[in-house]
Structures are given as structure tokens and as C-alpha cells.
Amino acid sequence: MSELATLWLPILLSSIAVFFASFLAWVVIGHHTPDWSEIPDEGNVIDFIRAQGLRPGQYMFPMARTKEAMADEAKQQQMISGPWGTLNIWSRQVKMSRNLLQTFVFYLVTSFFIAYLATLALEPRATFSRVFQVTGTAGILAYAFGHVPNAIWFGTHRRPMLMDVVDGVCFGLITGLIFAAFWP
């Protein structure tokens, strides 16, 4: 645990750097902007969702939860003809400060576990390239690939998934560079 305590600076700095890299990707460069589309006639769609009384949660359509529902001819036709998709109803309005804080905490926890892994895999006087190799790889795995199974199963389109992987590779490389630069 004392080895991990010596890594407080790269843990903190990599979290801050990835937080700002994420900001650059989303706000300044804006390469995620094309990943989202506006629903035509949004007001009526929102009114319809509200009228259905949908509680916060994740919804899939068409959905057949039981064998009986799957056997229903109308449901089978919906399954064949589509449209197919998911709908995520949030429990509350987005609050930028809360979401930014939670995002930073995620980066901090991720950097902590990368540091923990590094203490298991590396010696205290490891070379820059070896530290970069181990922590950069761990960062890429943490940031680039965790969402892929959900993207496969729940229909994330290729471009947003690819952009998330590109971001994750960049975040992992940033993390690796910082850990390598500040390795004890």
C-alpha cells in the first residue's frame, strides 16, 4: 500500500488531464456532435412519452419478455418489421456541475486502479518506456473498450462507438505518459 501512496501525484494529474482531454473532445473539437440527432417533432414525442407514464429506466422496443409474448403473431411481426431500439428515461434533469464532478471521480478511481495495477507489475525504478507500456495499456483498456459489449448488444452505431474508442485510446496514452513521467 505504501507503493500506491507514492503514486498520488500521477493518479491526480492523470485524472485532471483526462478530464480536460474529454472536455476538449466533447466541447472544443466537438467530434461527438454528429453522434446525436434531434427527434423530428420532438415536442409531440416528449408529450407521448410523458402521457405513457414511463418511469426512469431503460426500455427496449419491440420487447417480448416471455415465451408467450414471443409466440404472439403481432409481436413477431413487430420483431421482423421494426423499428428496433432503446429508450433511456433519466430520473432527473442533467445538472452540469454534478455530471462533471461524477465524471472526474470516475477518472480518479480509474487512475487509482491503474496505479494499483502498476504497483503489481512494475518495480519502483522502472524505465519510462516500461511504465508507459503498462499504464498506457491499462488506461486504453479502461477507457476504450469497457463500453463495447453494450454498444454491440444495444445498437450503438459504428461512428459513436469508434469515437469513444478513439477517445479511450487518447485517454489511455495520456494516462501512460503521466504515470511514466512521475513514476518514483
Q: How far is CA 77 from the centre of its chain?
A: 34
C-alpha distance across the termini of the chain, in Å: 14
Q: Closest Cα to residue 142, out of 120, 170, 184?
A: 170
User: Any idea which of 5-9, 57-61, 125-129 has the lowest mean pLDDT?
Assistant: 57-61
**pLDDT level of residue 22 (50, 70, 90 thresholds):** very high
DSSP string, 147-170: THHHHHHHT--HHHHHHHHHHHHH
Question: How many structural domains is the chain composed of?
Answer: 1
Residue 157: per-residue pLDDT = 87
Q: Closest Cα to residue 56, out of 93, 90, 95, 92?
A: 90
Residue 151: per-residue pLDDT = 87
- Single pTM value for the model: 0.85
C-beta separation of 108 from 12 below 8 A: yes
β-strand partners of 61: 85
Is residue 50 situated within a structural domain?
A: no
Range of the domain at 155: 2-38+94-181
Is residue 69 situated within a structural domain?
A: no
What pLDDT, in 10s, does the model give residues 89-131?
A: 999 999 999 999 999 999 999 999 999 999 999 998 999 999 9
pLDDT at 141 over 90: yes
